[in-house]
Amino acid sequence: MGAVRRLVDEATGEVVPYAPYAFSGGGHVQVDKARVAAITESRTFTPSQKYLILWWIGTSPPGMEPLRLTGADIAKRVGMTPDAVGKINRALRRRRILIERGRVGSYRFYRISPYIAFHGSGVEQREAITLCNPPDIPGFDKDARTAAQEAQ
């Protein structure tokens, strides 16, 4: 078994409690609940767009790496046509919900915006959001964010 990683609080020198997510077989992401709530409650997004956003949250790789799948590959996984996936991905890219992170020829590789979901540390997420503008989510504003924080 590998060495146990210990985090130390820089200000106090105390060990920060750490527990791995041993109860599941998959990775975990940090999700902005207020933005996801605004997306799911918005009438601007179609049910298919909302479904694909959820899929992107669950499949975007760690950090800012793109998901290296074609539209046809994605379509097979989610049960849509490649044309539908391409149309939805383009719409989500225009709203900056999906971030373009590479290309091969004319094909673009995407990942979910780090403002919406991120697989990595809080420090890495803070750095990642400096690489892109916030997503355009109708109905999302500071009041929605405050209400979500109060609900916690």
User: Beta strands 30-31 and 117-118: pairing type?
Assistant: antiparallel
Backbone angles phi, psi at 102, to 5 degrees: 160, 165
Name the one residue in this structure whose structure tokens are 């503008």: 133
For the domain made up of 24-151, the CATH class stated in words is mainly alpha
Max Cα separation, the chain?
A: 55
The structure tokens listed for 56 are 């992107």
Mean pLDDT for 11-26 is: 70
Confidence of residue 11 (pLDDT cuts 50, 70, 90): confident
pLDDT at 107: 87
pTM of the model: 0.77
b/e burial code for range 15-41 (CB count within 10 A of at least 16 → b): eeeeeeeeeeeeeebeebebbbbbbee
| Percent of residues, the chain, with pLDDT higher than 70 | 84
Residue 78: name the closest of 63, 93, 62, 89 by CA: 89
CB 117 within 8 A of CB 30: yes
Tokens of 116: 């919406």
pLDDT tens figures, 19-34: 655 555 667 788 999 9
Contact indicator for 91, 49 with CB cutoff of 8 Å: yes
Say how far apart CA 114 and CA 124 lie, in whole Å.
Answer: 10
Residue 29's pLDDT is: 84
Closest CA to 57 of 97, 25, 20: 97
